[in-house]
Amino acid sequence: MGLNIPADLGAWQRWQRSRHRLRMLRDVVRRPSPPQLQLLVRGEDPVVLFALEATTPTAIASIAEPMAHLGDTPMAVLAPADVSAALPGEWRQADAPQAPRSMRAVIATGHFLAAGALAYQWACEADARFFVVQHGLLAPQAPPLPSGAHVLAFTDRDFDFWRSGRTDVTGEAIGSQLLWNAAHQPPRALRELSETKRATVSDTPIFLGQLHGAELPRRVTGRTAELFCRQEGALYRPHPAETDLLSRRQHAKWQRNGIRFAEPGPLLQSGHSVVSIFSTGVLEAAAAGIPSWVTCVNPPAWVHEFWERYELAAWGGTPTRAPVQPDVEPSERIAQIVLATVRGES
């Protein structure tokens, strides 16, 4: 199994818009302005460009954390806003987002959003190496890879799944910085638990919501969440992107009908076990030693394949095993690969 749309970005974008018809109609009426990208620079004549689409934990782990291992290498960051507060070192804002003439390597999570798309254009024009860093678990609905990209994937299986038989992309497995952080920097709440208590953490699991996702219809994500929370007394934790009108109405209805919501805050410090359909948070919790499972009402075939590829355990059995970690921290490995490219060693 691989991507539903393995190479045609335009086709993927049309599919993505079709999954959010209300947003599409609103955009037709309002004609939203294109995002105003900003270019941040550290040092003179940047040789490395990072495209950072957001300051979410997954984006910071996959794109921003490698910067700390690049020493005084001159670099630049292309982003939709001033993200300097989330970056290591001192940064200055360029007068206009223009391609650094000196860049030799570009790092992004893809070319399907504004910063990544422009960064890919610049990389092609400058003949710079374009690296795509995997930042989350891969479903068949994920966007296709840009031609000529070198993929830094969690595992070999992920790379094979993502390229979907294509021969115009290369890649290697480096692990996940997000999962590395969870495994090597356990939160204080977990450190204070004895090994016996850690096996159960809490009798009340947290269900990670995914109403926002285009991968499954709401009748599946909503029904699964509602049934699980009712049957198991679980707390519902909305995804940060569940801010649209339909999601807010669903939240209000569930709360009126007695479903409790989890308190906001870091997931790994909640003291609860974790359940979801296909959230990256399930594997992140497992890496931290927190019991975690997956569940779904009448899951389609791709969900079963997803669970098998990431070795996610179904609710009711033994919890998901902690993923095996690489010998080298992923962010450090990314920096090593990038520096080798900048120096002409690869």
pLDDT of res. 199: 44
Mean pLDDT of 162-166: 97
pLDDT of res. 266: 87
Residue bearing tokens 């030693």: 289
Q: Which residues contact 266 (CB under 8 A, 6 or more apart)?
A: 187
pLDDT, tens digit (0-9, with 9 covering 90-100), for 167-185: 999 999 999 999 999 998 7
pTM listed for this prediction: 0.90
Please say whether the beta carbons of 209 and 218 come within 8 A.
no
Check pLDDT > 70 for residue 284: yes
pLDDT of res. 34: 59
Mean pLDDT of 21-40: 62
Q: Which of 43-57, 76-90, 131-145, 172-186 has the highest mean pLDDT?
A: 131-145
How far apart CA 290 and CA 25 sit, in angstroms, is: 42
Check pLDDT > 70 for residue 23: no
3-state secondary structure string across 46-102:
CCEEEECCCCCHHHHHHHHHHHHHCCCCCEEEEECCCCHHHCCCCCEECCCCCCCCC
Residue-range domain boundaries for the chain: 9-175+328-342, 181-309
CATH 3.10.50 fits 9-175+328-342, yes or no: no
Mean residue pLDDT across the chain: 90
How far apart CA 162 and CA 260 sit, in angstroms, is: 37
The CA R_g of the chain, rounded to the nearest whole Å, is: 21
Mean pLDDT of 2-16: 96
Count of Cβ atoms closer than 10 Å to residue 251 Cβ: 18
